[in-house]
Structure 1
């Protein structure tokens, strides 16, 4: 089934999508309560979808983003650091980083990029929502927005992305429960779904989700190894290949073609069997300059303090 969070008549509610209408859940549980405790009964009064505003389907407890597509790794490395190729370590395990669960946007929301960023990018992904016991509860579409110029500079510190990523992620339009997609698995257990992205209506990238290197079940198990995954955690597949983001194409083409996103651009991610997620790019307010870094001689400072 498809489970949504939506706003209707000034109230935020959850419900089950039924054709062109949504059936609100009795008792008005949050999506996290549904994921943790089970899907409740729907009320008897459906609401037409055209009368509601779909919101991000959940506020995740955590958001891990993997990098499970070999083709994406090669193209983006060419763009970010000019090296190209896939590191040997990529083949060892499904690597991930933690991004910001407090900056989640939903369907048709404007997404504010850092004003000082000019190399703005989308990332076409599918996200698995963890259920109880580190199982897969369901899936949704994920856009891992990226400020590539900020990311390129900060990753020279060798600590991973930070301000190039933590300003926004989009989820939606709803959660499709795992049972709905079981018949879409290939012989190795991968979900065989087409994923595509358009910018202002023009297709930029298209790939199969089954081109990922690990299943979501393996990725969840790896995330839980020596750690903990709880119901409501979100785990992104990483960006699909073949134009799943602009940076991959920049790396392969040797130039920024297609161009970076600009204010007013409309990005739509569509995943077969799940749905479409659309957002418009805008600029956040300008931020002030940071104070200059303090540089000192640590040994001299210690010696001075000991006198």
Structure 2
């Protein structure tokens, strides 16, 4: 099944999605199917996830008996859910190679990367919908997209094995981890993670696709073999396969649950794919900013086989609120 959260005539609703456009995705929402079947009494997919997989399945199975709602072309698609947490991993070796060369001017992949599927926590309040505008982050002039797929947790778990973790993933969605590369490069010299470099926008959408729908794409090694495509202003700049990840989603969930909980609605991003999954990787490979950095008016379209398409346009953002530099303080003691 496919679940959407949308706004129509000022009202927020959750629905299943039917039709050819819902299944395969389209850069043009008006092209093909995409009929919404509202779930009565539900305005939050997160609440439905917290009710459990059986409740989600029953709600979805009941929608054929509900009158058709609007077509997706008639609504504003919101993020499928408001996640309580977002963990973003870095599981594509090719991406690490290119971005490290671009941002840190270093070659290769750090040995520590191979030890475990590293992630950082990013801003759950920054999520936007499949076709929402993206403001340039305050103080940035080097905006970039990042093509990812995210798993969504449906069942609480702790200290899971990869085998157990499969039953805790309820579905998948597209994730665009918008990045202010100039801010990111400066703040990571402090030795923590990106903060304001990743804080303004993160696209989730267009739908939550339940895990069973993507099982036919699973290869013999346990990876989902989905085609990924990134375009800027209609020109394809990147293509990859999700199966080029170095860890499966189940292994990522197991690592995330080590010593703590994953809970319904938690989002786990795959990390950016290789071969043009972001501009910074291409800049590192080519040694120049080609394609150029994103600017207001540019539209980024990401398509994932079996899930759909998101397409966001960059718009001017607010200026930065001034904050002083650190003060050298006398080190007095109590």
TM tier, shorter chain? Answer: over 0.9
Aligned to 1:30: 44
Q: How far apart, in 1, do the equivalents of 2:185 and 2:318 lie? A: 22
Residue 53 and residue 288 in structure 1: after superposition, are their counterparts in 2 closer, same or farther (change >3 A)? closer
TM-score using structure 2 length: 0.88
Q: Over aligned residues, Cα RMSD in angstroms?
A: 1.2
Q: How far apart, in 2, do the equivalents of 1:206 and 1:2 lie? A: 24
User: SS where residue 102 of structure 1 aligns?
Assistant: helix
Q: Which of 118, 126, 131 lines up with 1:108 in the alignment?
A: 131
Q: How far apart, in 1, do the equivalents of 2:307 and 2:107 lie? A: 32
Aligned to 1:60: 83
Q: Which of 305, 313, 316 lines up with 1:283 in the alignment?
A: 316
Aligned to 2:66: 44
Aligned length: 301
1:95 equivalent to 2:128? Answer no
Q: How far apart, in 1, do the equivalents of 2:189 and 2:294 lie? A: 23
The residue correspondences of 1:216-227 to structure 2 (distance < 5 A) are 216-227=249-260
Q: Is the 8 A contact 1:115 1:283 kept in 2?
A: no
Q: Is the 8 A contact 1:70 1:86 kept in 2?
A: yes
Return 5+ residue gaps in structure 1 as ranges: none
Which consecutive aligned stretches of 4+ in structure 1 deviate over 3 angstroms post-superposition? none
Aligned to 1:195: 228
Aligned to 2:266: 233
Moved more, 103-112 or 232-241: 103-112
Q: Is the 8 A contact 2:12 2:43 kept in 1?
A: no
Deviation at 1:48, TM superposition (A): 3.3
What CA deviation, in whole Å up to 9, does each residue of 1:9-34 have, x standing for no partner?
22100010011211100222510122
Moved more, 182-191 or 130-139: 130-139
Return 5+ residue gaps in structure 2 as ranges: 20-32, 158-167
Deviation at 1:174, TM superposition (A): 0.5
Q: How far apart, in 2, do the equivalents of 1:216 and 1:65 lie? A: 12
Q: How far apart, in 1, do the equivalents of 2:11 and 2:240 lie? A: 37
